[in-house]
Amino acid sequence: MAANTPGTPSWLGAVNDRAGLSVLLDHGPLTRNRICELVGVSKPTASQMMSRLLQLGAIEEQGLLAGSAGRAAVVYAARTDRRVGVALDLDAFELRATVVDAAGSERPMVRTPLPRDPTARSAVEEVRRAIDAASEAAGTSPDAVHTVCLGIPGYVDPGATGELFSETLPGWPVRGLRAILEGDLGRTVLIENDVNLAALAEREFGAAVGSDVFALLWLGNGVGASFDVAGDLHRGSFGGAGEIGFLPVSAEAAALDPAARTVQDLVGGRAVALLAQRHGIEADGFHAAREALADPDAADARRAVFDDLAERVAHIALPVIATLDPGLIVLAGPTANLGGEAFAQAVAGGIRRISRWYPEVRATSVEGDAVLRGARSLLGTRVREELLDSVAALGRA
């Protein structure tokens, strides 16, 4: 009878081993008695489970815990360093990376600068360096990295050629990116749009927790959107759903800035820099303008800039609202982070003034790098399942 046939002793042992490792990942170090309570097995069965998992190298003994009867109990802990992933987020300037394990432990985030010369760029080497740096910072081996999740400013068409659409990844292959990375790195590679990852983080940790349908508007140097319907991201047939920066603006929106032709022109980084200059902030480019507007002494100029910007964002939100009819819009990205909740409320008021819709508008509440947190969440689930599946498979062998 096959080892994976339901009902056989080996199958039952594999199921129990998976359950035992799962509770150690969820609850941290535990004694045998506590494992019995959580898994619902007898003490002899729990002892057999721990013995098998120790032999597989999936767990380790982590000392003794004094019992009420005077006998010390062995404490078992999951080994999360044997199979890990690396979450990555990049823009035009740097690549940020962190190791992700099956228990969701907090690991250091590292930054690796990217070459400014397009001829010096290499997708494989840049990702490889980030994996090595993240592994060193986390105290894990690069050899333990089986899966990588890469958040990119753009998207990859899931079709046969896997064409890359991005304006901030010069020197990266425009076709077959995933296959090239997987072939040269020897690891599974997940590639996801950065705004989609930010929306995933918002759904799990931020302003969209518990929401039914929401849209996320990303406002920064670039502009994008993500659509979440009952916990499922809508990526579109070709992966390009949410690339709203390329949309032409309406006549009403163009009246706010006659030079604007697209959504990117109207609310992107250059538009923010020009608005800052209009209100007395002398700064060259988006990043300098954002730093200047963050100065506490620039409160009046910041308020004026975001009042003007809120009206523009209300206009560019209308196609999203008319298509998806979300109950919630979350504003995220560097520009939105600077504007905060007051900016979100101004956008909500603008939408009500110019349309029939009245969605709630909230500022992001995800702490830290939202894209990286989304990548960690997506990858953490994958790494956990891979670890549990590998233990169950070895147990049946």
pLDDT (0 to 100) of residue 159: 80
CA dist., res. 204 & res. 107, Å (int): 19
Q: 125 and 246 share a domain? A: no
Q: Is residue 391 part of a domain?
A: no
Q: 23 and 47 share a domain? A: yes
pLDDT (0 to 100) of residue 342: 97
pLDDT (0 to 100) of residue 71: 77
Share of the chain above pLDDT 90, in %: 84
Cα–Cα–Cα angle for 173, 192, 331, rounded to 5 degrees: 125
Q: 136 and 114 share a domain? A: yes
| Residue range of the domain that includes 184 | 84-197+372-384
CA 249 to chain centroid, in Å, comes to 29
Strand order in the sheet with 188-193: 109-113, 94-100, 84-90, 145-152, 188-193
Q: Is residue 56 part of a domain?
A: yes
Judged by phi (left if over 0) then psi (alpha if -120 to 50, else beta), residue 10 lies in alpha
Nearest to 244 by CA among 271, 259, 266: 266
Cα–Cα–Cα angle for 217, 356, 195, rounded to 5 degrees: 10
Q: Is residue 181 part of a domain?
A: yes
**CATH number of the CATH domain containing 16:** 1.10.10.10
Q: Please report, as a single letter, which amino acid is at residue 155.
A: Y
**CB-based contact 334:220 (threshold 8 Å):** yes
Q: 327 and 262 share a domain? A: yes
Q: Is residue 24 part of a domain?
A: yes
Q: Is residue 43 part of a domain?
A: yes
Q: Is the dihedral of CA 112, 370, 187, 397 positive or negative?
A: positive
Q: 166 and 30 share a domain? A: no
Q: 70 and 92 share a domain? A: no
Query: Which two tokens mark 39?
Result: 């898994």
Residues of the chain with pLDDT under 70: 1-7, 67-70, 160, 394-397
Q: 142 and 101 share a domain? A: yes
pLDDT (0 to 100) of residue 215: 98
Domain count, the chain: 3
CA dist., res. 118 & res. 128, Å (int): 18
> For 99-125, what is each residue's pLDDT tens digit?
999 999 999 999 999 998 989 999 999
Give the contacts of 46 (CB within 8 A, at least 6 positions apart).
Answer: 20, 32, 33, 35, 36, 39
* Boundary of a domain, candidates 32, 47, 79: 79
- Helices 299-324/334-354 angle, 10° precision: 60
Instruction: Read off the pTM.
Output: 0.91
Q: 188 and 246 share a domain? A: no
Q: Is residue 4 part of a domain?
A: no
Q: 169 and 261 share a domain? A: no
* Boundary of a domain, candidates 79, 108, 137: 79
CA dist., res. 106 & res. 368, Å (int): 13
pLDDT (0 to 100) of residue 92: 87
pLDDT (0 to 100) of residue 283: 87
Q: 90 and 23 share a domain? A: no
Q: Is residue 389 part of a domain?
A: no
* Boundary of a domain, candidates 44, 79, 114: 79
Q: 142 and 289 share a domain? A: no
Q: 262 and 355 share a domain? A: yes
**CATH number of the CATH domain containing 113:** 3.30.420.40
Q: Is residue 334 part of a domain?
A: yes
